[in-house]
């Protein structure tokens, strides 16, 4: 089992930055990929970014490329999502997830999920 705990969400204005953190615990040795997804009200959960647990490869949704950066601190078992130039359309609950595949983009590819953290971007 892997437990994931997100933090860092909040209310910001358009153009601001936020950094989300995802602390992993448990049997992280079985984890190969860590991802961030988001879900806005009335919409399906969508892929945002992913990184291999070793940190060698990353993948981003087109909507966040150039604005968001995913990274990890292996020693702290923590994955970060740095979000810059935030837009109102980035408003959603952001979920951290982990699974046995590298930089996967589908919800079904991931096994473990955090509880989510709310990000709200106002005009």
If residue 13 lies in a helix (H) or strand (E), which one and from where to where? Answer: strand 10-13
Rounded to 5°, angle at Cα 77 from 49 and 93: 40
The model's pLDDT over 13-59, given as tens digits with 9 standing for 90+, comes to 999 999 999 999 988 776 679 999 999 999 999 999 999 877 779 99
Q: Is the pLDDT score of 71 beyond 80?
A: yes
> What percentage of the chain exceeds 70 in pLDDT?
98
Question: What pLDDT is attached to residue 26?
Answer: 87
Neighbouring residues of 54: CB distance < 8 A, sequence distance ≥ 6 = 74
Question: What pLDDT is attached to residue 30?
Answer: 62
The model's pLDDT over 100-116, given as tens digits with 9 standing for 90+, comes to 888 899 999 999 999 99
Q: How far apart are CA 8 and CA 20, in angstroms?
A: 5
Question: What pLDDT is attached to residue 54?
Answer: 77
Q: How far apart are CA 95 and CA 97, in angstroms?
A: 6
């Amino acid at each position: 089992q892997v437990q994931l705990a997100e933090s860092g969400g909040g209310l910001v204005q358009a153009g601001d930055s936020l950094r989300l953190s995802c602390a992993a615990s448990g049997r992280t040795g079985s984890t190969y990929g860590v991802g961030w997804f988001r879900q806005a009200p009335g919409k399906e959960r969508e892929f945002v970014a992913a990184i291999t647990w070793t940190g060698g490869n990353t993948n981003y949704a087109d909507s966040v490329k150039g604005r968001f950066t995913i990274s990890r601190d292996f020693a702290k078992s923590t994955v970060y999502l740095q979000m810059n130039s935030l837009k109102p359309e980035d408003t959603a609950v952001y979920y951290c997830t982990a699974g046995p595949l590298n930089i996967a983009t589908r919800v079904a590819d991931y096994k473990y999920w955090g509880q989510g953290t709310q990000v709200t971007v106002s005009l």
